[in-house]
């Protein structure tokens, strides 16, 4: 079973067993503007929850992407090295950033469902 959850920092994570695929939300990419460069974590890197894991640079700004889980990086989206615009074009698909093998149970209290994230966005953008 696949579950997609969201953070208050506008990352999404798609959970399949103990593997989490992580990216930035459509809202985040729209706020960044045209993405021109993405720095991804190296495979094998250990991450702690809330640790800066990647950097997304756009024509407007550079922004850190934080790991929403504890774990070890198992994959990074190499396509973003030559096609950073994938993050703008398909943030929930081809624009994923990295995958993490989780090393501890999810702290679901700090993560939001799609409905909770939509409400969070509505409240934040008022």
Region 13-24 average pLDDT: 94
| pLDDT, tens only, 38-50 | 999 999 999 999 9
Cβ proximity of 36 and 54 under 8 Å: no
Region 7-24 average pLDDT: 94
Cβ proximity of 22 and 41 under 8 Å: no
| pLDDT, tens only, 74-119 | 999 999 999 999 999 999 999 999 999 998 877 777 899 999 999 9
Q: What CATH number does the domain containing 102 carry?
A: 2.40.50.100
Supply the pLDDT for residue 1: 64
Our count of domains for the chain comes to 1
Q: Give me the domain span that covers residue 56.
A: 2-124
């Amino acid at each position: 079973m696949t579950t997609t959850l969201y953070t208050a920092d506008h990352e999404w994570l798609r959970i399949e067993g103990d593997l989490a695929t992580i990216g930035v939300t459509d809202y985040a990419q729209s706020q960044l503007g045209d993405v021109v460069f993405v720095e991804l974590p190296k495979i094998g890197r250990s991450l702690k929850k809330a640790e800066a894991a990647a950097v997304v640079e756009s024509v407007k700004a550079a922004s850190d992407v934080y790991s929403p889980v504890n774990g070890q990086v198992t994959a990074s989206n190499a396509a973003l090295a030559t096609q950073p615009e994938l993050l703008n074009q398909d943030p929930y698909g081809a624009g994923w950033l990295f995958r993490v093998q989780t090393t501890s149970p999810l702290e679901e209290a700090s993560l939001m469902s799609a409905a909770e994230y939509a409400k969070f966005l509505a409240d934040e953008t008022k």
